[in-house]
């Protein structure tokens, strides 16, 4: 059962500002760059490179968005910080395609400026000693990963992946665990924080990423001859994306909103949401790559790469949400895992099936899952509302 004891003192509730949405567009651009990198390097190494770059890119978004929520986006200093990170982020994201091939410094320098600068600002200007100490611990974690990013930039592409992989692992582990140090842990229960605002930021960011995937479909469709197989691939991919949208937005956001409004630890709920979004972002990059394959080559037989991107991306998307619901509401997770199991079985058959047949299998799984979850979410939101009333 969810935690329904006395909630923390309420924080000021703010609407998502136009500047925050403007800021998000820079990182939506990064998603298209990451998908393009994976399409051009559709190998295990290319997937590892894409994962490392994704951790770095989304980490800067998460750090900055959390701080903008904490320090109030309406304050001039916070707005200046967001605009500065936006410019640095645009430069960094434009360098994604060259990070492992050309000038790695174009990617690393803005990344480290953002990571150090954003955390240093909060470490000195945070609204409470607890928050300032938390960001000071974050700087210690960054001090551990920054040399690895720098050394990696000096290496050739082959060893660079190992150095940057280690740096990314430190960064994502620190984010997932809230940057603990021995004997020093951020105890976020009963700490006032505008969690509803930050969860709304994550929700809107997910919509934008789904929208970027839709644009990928449109760009691919515009560049190929339109015939019956291509049209069927388009319909199948579009159905899959709408179903992925419905799996969460078909009532799931209402469940999350009720939970966050009454939890005693809103920051932990946000941290879980950020952790889940890392996985959702990686999943949608994989699905975007599969969509390009399907629409560009609808007559092809299935392949291992299609199985991993199409079904593997879907499994990651569903499994990460299952984890979130399991650790927050204790419900609405088993249905997602059942769908994951069905996707794994379909993925095993994918290399021996025509691509369009594999896509049809995925559509059937996702449509059924979306319909089932819409009822589950509705009943769960009602139950949670009654529990905390």
pLDDT for 282 equals 95
**Could you report the per-residue pLDDT of 279-315, keeping only the tens digit for each?**
999 999 999 999 999 999 999 998 999 999 999 999 9
**Helix/strand/coil (H/E/C) assignment for every residue in 199-260:** HHHHHHHHHHHHHHHHHHHHHHHHCCCCCHHHHHHHHHHHHHHHHHHHHHHCCHHHHHHHHH
pLDDT for 389 equals 47
189: phi then psi, degrees, rounded to nearest 5: -60, 135
The Cα–Cα gap between 353 and 339 comes to 20
**195 to 192, 223, 262, 270, 344: CA distances (angstroms):** 9, 42, 11, 6, 34
- Label residue 78 exposed, middle or buried (CB < 10 Å: 0-12, 13-18, 19+): buried
pLDDT for 7 equals 39
pLDDT for 125 equals 81
Helix (H) or strand (E) holding 283: helix 266-296
pLDDT for 237 equals 95
pLDDT for 186 equals 66
**Measured in whole angstroms, how far is the alpha carbon of residue 313 from the centre of its chain?**
12
pLDDT for 387 equals 62
Q: Three-class SS of residue 184?
A: strand
Taking the CB of residue 156, how many other CB atoms lie within 10 A of it? 8
- Label residue 14 exposed, middle or buried (CB < 10 Å: 0-12, 13-18, 19+): middle
**70 to 122, 140, 276, 352, 381: CA distances (angstroms):** 9, 20, 20, 51, 27
- Strand pairing partners for 301? 354
**324 to 57, 126, 268, 313, 318: CA distances (angstroms):** 22, 28, 11, 17, 10
pLDDT for 15 equals 83
9 HSE (CA, 13 A, CB side) = 2
41: phi then psi, degrees, rounded to nearest 5: -135, 65
pLDDT for 13 equals 62
Taking the CB of residue 302, how many other CB atoms lie within 10 A of it? 20
pLDDT for 270 equals 87
Q: What angle do CA 307, 173, 33 make, to 5 degrees?
A: 50
Write the DSSP assignment of 42-103 as a string of letters.
-SHHHHHHHHHHHHHHHHHHHHHHHHHHHH-TTSHHHHHHHHHHHHHHHHHHHTGGGTTTS-
pLDDT for 10 equals 44
**Are the C-beta atoms of residues 362 and 343 closer than 8 Å to each other?**
yes
The Cα–Cα gap between 5 and 36 comes to 47
Q: Three-class SS of residue 336?
A: helix
The Cα–Cα gap between 153 and 161 comes to 10
> Which residues of the chain carry a pLDDT beneath 50?
1-11, 389
């Amino acid at each position: 059962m969810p935690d329904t004891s006395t909630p923390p003192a309420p924080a000021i509730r703010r609407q998502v500002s136009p500047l925050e949405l403007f800021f998000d567009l820079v990182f939506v651009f990064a998603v298209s760059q990451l998908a393009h990198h994976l399409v051009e390097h559709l190998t295990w190494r290319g997937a590892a490179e894409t994962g490392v770059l994704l951790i770095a890119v989304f980490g800067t978004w998460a750090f900055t968005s959390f701080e903008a929520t904490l320090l109030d986006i309406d304050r001039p200093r916070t707005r200046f910080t967001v605009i500065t990170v936006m410019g640095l982020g645009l430069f960094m994201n434009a360098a994604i395609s060259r990070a492992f091939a050309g000038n790695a410094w174009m990617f690393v320098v803005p990344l480290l400026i953002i990571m150090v600068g954003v955390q240093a600002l909060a470490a000195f200007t945070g609204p409470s000693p607890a928050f300032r100490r938390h960001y000071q611990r974050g700087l210690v974690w960054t001090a551990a990963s920054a040399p690895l990013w720098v050394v990696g930039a000096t290496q050739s592409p082959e060893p660079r992946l190992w150095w940057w992989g280690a740096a990314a692992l430190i960064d994502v582990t620190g984010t997932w665990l809230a940057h603990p140090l021995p004997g020093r842990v951020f105890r976020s229960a009963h700490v006032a924080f505008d969690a509803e605002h930050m969860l709304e930021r994550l929700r809107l960011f997910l919509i934008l990423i789904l929208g970027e995937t839709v644009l990928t479909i449109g760009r691919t469709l515009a560049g190929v001859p339109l015939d019956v197989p291509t049209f069927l691939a388009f319909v199948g991919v579009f159905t899959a994306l709408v179903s992925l949208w419905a799996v969460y937005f078909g009532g799931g956001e209402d469940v999350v909103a009720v939970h966050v409004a009454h939890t005693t630890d809103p920051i932990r709920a946000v941290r879980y949401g950020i952790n889940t979004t890392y996985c959702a972002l990686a999943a949608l990059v994989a699905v975007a790559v599969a969509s390009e394959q399907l629409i560009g080559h609808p007559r092809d037989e299935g392949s291992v790469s299609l199985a991993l991107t199409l079904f593997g991306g879907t499994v990651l998307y569903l499994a990460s949400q299952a984890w979130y619901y399991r650790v927050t509401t204790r419900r609405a997770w088993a249905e997602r895992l059942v769908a994951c199991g069905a996707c794994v079985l379909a993925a095993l058959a994918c290399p021996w099936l025509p691509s369009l047949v594999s896509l049809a299998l995925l559509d059937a799984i996702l449509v059924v899952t979306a319909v089932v979850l819409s009822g589950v979410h509705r009943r769960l939101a009602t139950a949670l509302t009654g529990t905390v009333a």
